[in-house]
Amino acid sequence: MAELLMLLAGAGVGEAVSKLTDAITHVITKTSKFRSALTELQQILARIKPIINHIEKLNVKLNRPTQESANFIAELKAAEDLVRECERIKWTYSHSSKLEKVNKSLLRFCQIDVQLQINQSLLELLAMCTPSIGLWSCGGVPLDKGDVIGFDDRVRALKEMVLKDSEVDDCSVVVVSAGGGYGKTTLVTKLCHDPQIQGQFGRNIYFITVSETCDIKVMVKRLLQKNQGGQQLDFVNDEDATREWGSFLAVNTSSPILLVLDDVWDASIVTKFKFKSSAYKILVTSRSTFEQFKTYKLKLLKDQDATQLFRHSAFFLDGSERTNISNALVDELVKHCKNHPLALSVIGRLLKGKDVARWDSMLKKLSQGMQSVLDVDESILLCLQKSLDVVEDSVKECFLDLGLFPEDQKIAATMLMDMWVHLYNHDEEGLDTINQLSDLSSKNLATLSQIRYFTSDSFLSK
């Protein structure tokens, strides 16, 4: 049966059927001889032809290999020749018997048209689940950008959080939180390509960048487009769009689904995509900390990884220029980059291939305060500036006040409270100051440690 289905879907079969159909139509209009047998043959072909044509189109769309049956095409060609002879000869029993034989042969095919319809439906389903050329593959997960350094342990820790089931019968949400340029997108991208994650979710990994200004309707359309077989999706509003996403999840409850929302600025976006399903998981990256969800706090690189990343960015693979650059010079530059992945990569690339004098000049500017890391390259400034663009003015003012204190030093919270009471009319009990410090921490603009009450052991780390 399977061989028969492939036979009908084979390359060139549809064209042969069309030619035979045209020949029958032509002969019937020219002569009344053999009309009964020809009409029966015409009806059989009419039932088979549209199904064959549709299957051939789906095979082309899916770029699937087809099996051409030379014998079957030759049989159809012989049938066409037999039909055309009917126009030139008188009625004979022998010729009529040959037409009957063709009819019976095709009728056997026609009797399996239910199986043909099933085959067609399966191909349609496969077409809907297969992305078109030029669209996303693997749910839109981007490829890793070259070598990723210092992330193996982080991937393992994050993977454990993602794969852990929710304590309630609900979807689990994990937020990767860190400041700009820490490598949040790099981390979740590497996670999505992890063999264990691939084995768990397969092609059901949906990756989309949200950004500061987002359109829920556009997001859902992009998420679902690979499952719609080219069908255009239009939504009335955001609620209609998220409802459609929920419907998609409802019909796919048997397969685990991972939705990755990259660069989320508001927790309400995550909430809109939450649906009650234990097989459904959401992974988020954000510059903020959303306390209602499980959070993976992405830290700066360890010293060893920071040095390795800087060397990877600054030196050619053959190490031809390393003899001129001392390890001490490398270590000093890494120190001034604060183990920040983006700063390490950018400054390393800027110095790549440059002579030692240029390296010394860069270190001098950074160490003597003649130039900030933010001034070295616009990409660093733009990346970090986004974190300040979205905070309220009152929080931004408090953040700028932190620059009055020595670099890389802890600041007693009581000192900030005394200052902000006079500058911004904060209450003397410290509640306003607590709120501002919490906001700074949630935006990853400062790190709180040992905050209980405003005592001498309450500190803020810049």
| Greater pLDDT, 460 or 362 | 362
Distances (CA, A) of 370 to 6, 362, 364: 74, 10, 8
pLDDT tens digits, one per residue of 353-376: 888 988 998 888 888 765 566 656
Average pLDDT over residues 115-119: 52
Q: Residue 122 is encoded by which pair of tokens?
A: 């399966």
What average pLDDT is seen over the chain? 77
Q: Read off the pLDDT of each residue in 160-181 and give the average, rounded to a whole number.
A: 86
- Count of residues in the chain: 462
**Short-list 461, 432, 434, CA closest to 448:** 461
The answer to whether residue 154 scores a pLDDT higher than 80 is yes
Query: Is it the case that residue 286 has pLDDT exceeding 90?
Result: yes
Three-state secondary structure call for residue 297? strand
Contact by Cβ (8 Å): 352, 321: no
Greater model confidence, 390 or 298:
298
Q: How confident is the model at residue 114 (pLDDT cuts 50, 70, 90)?
A: very low
Show the tokens assigned to 309: 């990343």
pLDDT higher at 269 or 32: 269
If you ran DSSP here, which 8-state letter would residue 143 be given? P
Q: Does residue 418 register a pLDDT over 60? A: yes
Q: How confident is the model at residue 132 (pLDDT cuts 50, 70, 90)?
A: very low
pLDDT-derived band of residue 211, with 50, 70 and 90 as boundaries?
confident
Sorting pLDDT into bands at 50, 70 and 90, what band is 222?
A: confident
Per the CB < 8 A criterion, the answer to whether 460 and 411 are in contact is yes
Beta bridge partners of 209: 262
Q: Which residue has the higher pLDDT, 66 or 221?
A: 221
And the tokens for 21?
């159909």
Rounded distance, CA 355 to CA 336, Å?
19
Rg of the chain in Å (alpha carbons): 34
Q: How far apart are the C-alpha atoms of 181 and 380, rounded to whole Å? A: 8
What average pLDDT does range 119-140 have in this prediction? 48
**Among 382, 10, 344, 64, CA closest to 212:** 382
Euclidean distance between CA atoms 412 and 428, whole angstroms: 15
238-267, pLDDT tens digit by residue?
A: 999 999 999 888 888 778 999 999 999 899
The answer to whether 330 touches 310, Cβ cutoff 8 Å, is yes
In this prediction, residue 136 carries a pLDDT of: 37
Alpha helices in 303-392 (DSSP H): 303-314, 327-336, 341-351, 356-367, 373-376, 378-389
**What is the pLDDT, as a whole number, of residue 408?**
61
- DSSP-based three-state secondary structure for 287: coil
- For residue 124, the one-letter residue type is E
In single-letter form, the type of residue at position 311 comes to R
- pLDDT, position 230: 52
What is the structure's pLDDT at 120? 53
Q: Which of 123-132, 248-257, 261-270, 426-435 has the lowest mean pLDDT?
A: 123-132
Mean pLDDT across 304-329: 83
Domains of the chain plus CATH, in order, are 2-129 (no CATH), 138-297 (3.40.50.300), 303-380 (1.10.8.430), 391-461 (1.10.10)
| pLDDT > 90 fraction of the chain, expressed in percent and rounded | 22
Give just the sign of the alpha carbon dihedral 153, 159, 164, 170.
positive
Is the pLDDT higher at 114 or at 336? 336
Instruction: Give the containing element (helix H, strand E) for 439.
Output: helix 431-442
* pLDDT given for residue 390 in this prediction: 61
114 vs 166: CA distance, rounded Å? 44
Is it the case that residue 164 has pLDDT exceeding 80? yes
Lowest mean pLDDT among 65-69, 149-153, 222-226: 65-69
| Main-chain dihedrals φ then ψ at residue 259, nearest 5 degrees | -105, 125
* Mean pLDDT of the region 35-42: 78
Q: Residue 78: what pLDDT?
A: 79
The whole-number average pLDDT for the span 309-335 is 83
Confidence of residue 307 (pLDDT cuts 50, 70, 90): very high
Can you give the pLDDT at residue 186?
A: 93
Beta bridge partners of 284: 175, 261
Distance separating alpha carbons of residues 83 and 26, to the nearest angstrom: 9
pLDDT score recorded for residue 456: 38
pLDDT band at 1 (very low <50, low <70, confident <90, very high): very low
Most confident of 7-11, 116-120, 394-398, 451-455: 394-398
Q: What's the Cα-to-Cα distance from 266 to each of 7, 208, 270, 389, rounded to whole Å?
A: 55, 15, 8, 14
